[in-house]
Amino acid sequence: MRSDHLVILLLCGLLTVSMVVPAAAGDSGWLLRQADLEVARLTGEMPVYRAATDGDVGGTSGEISTKSERSPAIPMLMSLVVPGSGELLLGYNRGFIQIALDAAAWYGGIYYSNEGDDLSDQYYAYADEHWFEGKLDAAYDSGYLSRPDANFDYSDVVGVGTEYFGFHIYNDPDTGLPLWVSKEDDRREYYENLGKWDQFVFGWDDFEDPRDFLNDPTINIANLKDPRTSKNRETYRDMRKAANDAYAKSDRFIYLNIAFRVFSVLQVAYLEGLLFGGDTSGGGEPSQLQVGSHQVNFFVEPVGYTRGVMGATVSF
């Protein structure tokens, strides 16, 4: 994921938090109570509120509106957008901790994504400095030196690629290298191929034929993997690995953000009485989530010792 996309998502999340937290911190049902006041004006009856006493971290943020006054799906949807916001709506201060953890995970994802971008720019520049398509062209054309556009600096690799792999034109769509792609067609794959595949090793400026340093005239493709074939290619590979490692760390933080949302939604479902009976300490029957007046049932089933299946069913 690009860093600018992450920043936009993070700002959207913080904006949502700024809208949710003040209401939860002072009076989590403020908006709902405005509607209740209007109901009371018309009917003469004021909805009843109960206090939450579940021993939550830091206590609760005040009175909580009864579950019958709103759909239990609302806090679940809020938690899906910003983990912890649904808990705050219900009056549980643990939501502040979840929001902080989610923000920290966003920061980690952005940080390592930016680091991956910087490291990628560095190995792109390194390849542009030490790998040449013209040299690869010479390696796959035995008659290269007779061409009017020949570069005699590449005379030491003329036809070497053909000797090892049998191809005569590197960029021919039918008979050329099967993995060849130009920078213009696919920039990412272009730079990946330069270090990953031995067919492209001849383009590195410090290429040395393994037959020379092994004193063995036998053509053996496996010998091209020897680090001595091109030390610059080995350096390039290390640079690419560092960039990929940074992107992998960024991905793990994004997965953590997703996990926070799943956990928060399930926790809200439990607190609303939608999962395993939930928290019904305030009295009354557990709330039931419905879709088109049809009840939704959640289930969790273990699979072996390390896995499980989680889902929901709706009966029509």
Cβ–Cβ under 8 Å, residues 247 and 112: yes
Residue 126 tokens, joined = 């390194």
Between 94 and 49, whose confidence is greater?
94
pLDDT of residue 35: 55
Give Dmax over CA atoms of the chain in angstroms: 101
Task: Name the pLDDT band for 129 (thresholds 50, 70, 90).
Answer: very high
d(Cα 269, Cα 119) in Å, to the nearest integer?
Answer: 43
Strands 290-291 and 307-314 turn out to be unpaired
Q: What is the pLDDT of residue 52?
A: 42
Amino acid identity for residue 39 in this structure = V
Nearest to residue 84, comparing CAs of 73, 95, 72?
Answer: 95
pLDDT band at 10 (very low <50, low <70, confident <90, very high): very low
E strand or H helix at 309: strand 307-314
With a pLDDT cut of 70, the percent of the chain lying above it is 65
157-168 pLDDT, tens digit each: 999 999 999 999
Q: Residues 51-66: what's their mean pLDDT?
A: 45
Written as six digits, the tokens of 85 are: 């916001």
Q: State how far the Cα of 203 lies from the Cα of 164, in Å rounded to an integer.
A: 14
pLDDT-derived band at 304, boundaries 50, 70, 90: low
Residues 6+ apart with CB under 8 A from 150: 138, 144
User: Residue 244's closest CA among 126, 123, 130, 106?
Assistant: 123
> Could you count the other beta carbons within 10 Å of the beta carbon of residue 57?
11
Select the more confidently predicted residue: 271 or 130: 130
Q: Which two tokens stand for residue 3?
A: 């860093």
Task: Please list the alpha-helical segments (H only) found in 3-92.
Answer: 3-27, 30-43, 73-81, 85-90
How confident is the model at residue 175, as a pLDDT? 87
Query: Which pLDDT score is estimated for 122?
Result: 97
Mean pLDDT of 111-139: 97
- How many whole angstroms separate alpha carbon 263 and alpha carbon 171? 51
> Is the separation of the CB atoms in 98 and 80 below 8 Å?
no
Region 245-262 average pLDDT: 96
